[in-house]
A and B are shown apart, each in its own frame.
Chain A
Amino acid sequence: MNFDDSVRYQKSHEWARKEGDLVVVGISDYAQDSLGDVVFVELPEVGSTLGQGETFGVVESVKSASDLYMPVGGEIAEINEALTETPETVNEAPFADGWMIKIKPSDASQYDSLLSADDYKAYVETLEE
């Protein structure tokens, strides 16, 4: 299990990474592993504005559909169109090509409130049997 320490996390298993003045968002390695084969990703429209904690999309695996939550509030600046055709990229490279959206944050301080890799890892360990 990979806990990329160059990103921040939230308990609903999304990660966030600063990239210039944008925040890139995806789901963690733990999340993709728990979901199993990802077969569909629904993403928001570019230009829409969503608050922190609001649903921005849905990731569907063979057996379940899971909502995706905004780790920081802001405007959707870009979405990963490639996931439409190849949703399995989320399984193959969750921290890289499997990214989902880029957000133009409305409040920079929200990023700082997210979990560090160590804290997220500790949290995930509490979820394991």
Chain B
Amino acid sequence: MADELKRTALHAWHREHGARMGPFAGWDMPLQYEAGAVSEHRAVREQAGLFDISHMGQVDIRGADAAQFLDYVLSNDVLELPEGLSTYCLMCREDGGVLDDVFVYRLPDRFYVVVNASNTEKDVAWLKNAAAQTSFDVEITNQSYETSMFALQGPAALEVFSRAGGKAESELSRFAIDYDTVGASRCLVSRTGYTGEDGVEIYVWNDDAPALWERLLQAGSYLEGGLQPVGLAARDSLRFEPGFALYGHELDEHTTPPEARLKWACHFDRPFIGRDAILKEIENGLSKKLVTVRMVDRGMLREGYEVHAPEGEQIGSVVTGMYSPTLEWYYGNAYVIPSFAKTGTALEIRIRGRSRRAEVVKRPLYRPAYKSS
């Protein structure tokens, strides 16, 4: 089994640096390093952390109708997305179910779509099929396996990136993307991330990836304890606190954007695949809604746990369970029937056959700390 897992260009580095590896979406990925998930999480909140997220998929989309095409297959406004900027979008089925959540970057000559590793093949097939069934002039190329992707995140991330020879903070506004050269590595860099901290995401060809990784670590060596490599376990808790969805948990094909509180990522003024079904659902009322819950009794939430009304019937289930290193307490996300979604609503969670008290809390648990520039 393990032999069939895909490896990033940094695989050997992770092994040599004490990473605990594990399978994720068909890749053998670092789950945590020797520091441990909680320390890695805190390093990103307090200083900076470096993530190898090369499992993420990258799709290059170009052609005369690339903007119109993406505006139609994705939920958010791509048509009017300015060159050099990016936006968060959902890719939906006709019935509104979410196929994936993606980031779209607009470059001068093309679009760059970053997709979830677990969905890469499905997304590329869906996009190609959608292109074939319409008359849009587009060329779709899956670059996932040639591309490495790093995230450098945290209050010191931009300083580290600039020390490494990359763009300065003032040269890259929030959500911007641009070409850059860091050392000898030609790359794309965007001021985006998935942690609730400021920072950059970097896209580089696999051949250049190890040298760039080392260069970033070197540039961050001035930080107390050095620049912390961060595994997928801390990536999960870092995305959970500011309320970002993780596909397969908060999102799947049986969940629609408004149910996941992602109506803001939909442009309803123009057609897109899934729009009509989503509008109809909003009109008729949602069947479930995403909530963040806090344990009142002590206990760790896990995906799949039943959510009940106090001393009552099941009204939902947990999709993410988490110990929040920032709040030092037990939280989770659950889908519940909408009448139980109000902040302050008392709930019960079935944990190993016993009922534990929980309550719906205000989202997000952690307000993202982005600089104003």
When the two chains form their complex, are residues B299 and A37 in contact, meaning their CB atoms are under 8 A apart?
Answer: no
Near A by CB (< 8 A), chain B positions 25-83 give 31-32, 36-38
Chain A positions within 8 Å of B233 at CB level: 36, 62-63
- Give the shortest distance, in Å, between B8 (CB) and chain A (any CB): 19
A39 at the interface (CB under 8 A from B): yes
Q: Which residues of chain B in 205-264 are interfacial with respect to chain A, using CB atoms and an 8 Å cutoff?
A: 233, 237
- Show 12 A/B contacts (Cβ-Cβ < 8 Å), sorted by A: A36-B20, A36-B37, A36-B233, A37-B38, A37-B323, A39-B38, A39-B323, A42-B352, A60-B300, A62-B32, A62-B37, A91-B36
Given A62-B233, A62-B237, A63-B233, A36:B300 Cβ within 8 A: no
Which residues of chain B (270-311) have a CB below 8 Å from chain A? 298-300, 302
Which residues of B are found within 8 Å of A36, using beta-carbon distances?
Answer: 20, 32, 36-37, 233
Q: A interface vs B, CB < 8 Å?
A: 36-37, 39-40, 42, 58, 60, 62-63, 65, 84, 91
Cβ of B38 and Cβ of A65 under 8 Å apart?
A: no
Beta-carbon contact of B330 and A40 below 8 Å = yes
Chain B 323-351 near chain A by CB (<8 Å), digits 1 or 0: 10000001000000000000000000000
B38 touches A40 (CB 8 A): no
Q: What is the size category of the interface that chain B forms with chain A?
A: 10 to 19
Contacts of B37 in A (CB 8 A): 36-37, 62-63
- A65 to B304 CA separation, bound complex (whole angstroms): 13
In chain B, what residue has the closest Cβ to A39? B323
Given contacts A36-B20, A62-B233, contact A84 B36 (CB under 8 A): no
Q: CA of A40 to CA of B356 in the docked complex: distance in angstroms?
A: 14
Q: Does the CB pair B298–A65 fall under 8 Å?
A: no
| A39 contacts B300, C-beta separation under 8 Å | yes
CA–CA, A59 to B362, complex, Å?
Answer: 29
Contacts of A37 in B (CB 8 A): 36-38, 323
- Pick the contact of B38: A58, A62, A84 (CB < 8 A): A62
Q: Which 6 A-B pairs have the closest CB atoms?
A: A39-B323, A60-B300, A40-B300, A37-B38, A62-B37, A37-B36
A40–B36 contact, CB under 8 A? no
> Does A65 contact B300, Cβ atoms closer than 8 Å?
yes
Cα–Cα distance between A40 and B38 once the two chains are bound (Å): 13
**Complex Cα spacing A37 to B36, Å:** 6
Q: Of residues 1 to 30 in B, which have CB atoms within 8 Å of A's CB atoms?
A: 20
* A37 CA to B38 CA, complexed, in Å: 7
Q: Determine how close the nearest CB of chain B comes to the CB of A16; give it in whole angstroms.
A: 24
Q: How far is the CB of B174 from chain A (nearest CB, A)?
A: 30
Given contacts A36-B32, A40-B300, A65-B300, 7 further A-B contacts (CB under 8 A): A36-B36, A36-B233, A37-B38, A37-B323, A39-B330, A40-B298, A65-B302
Q: Which of A62, A63, A84, A91 makes the CB contact (< 8 A) with B298? A: A84
A residues in contact with B330, CB < 8 Å: 39-40
Q: How far is the CA of A40 from the CA of B323 in the complex (A)?
A: 9
Q: List chain A residues, Cβ under 8 A from B36.
A: 36-37, 91
| Bound-complex Cα distance A84 to B302 (A) | 18
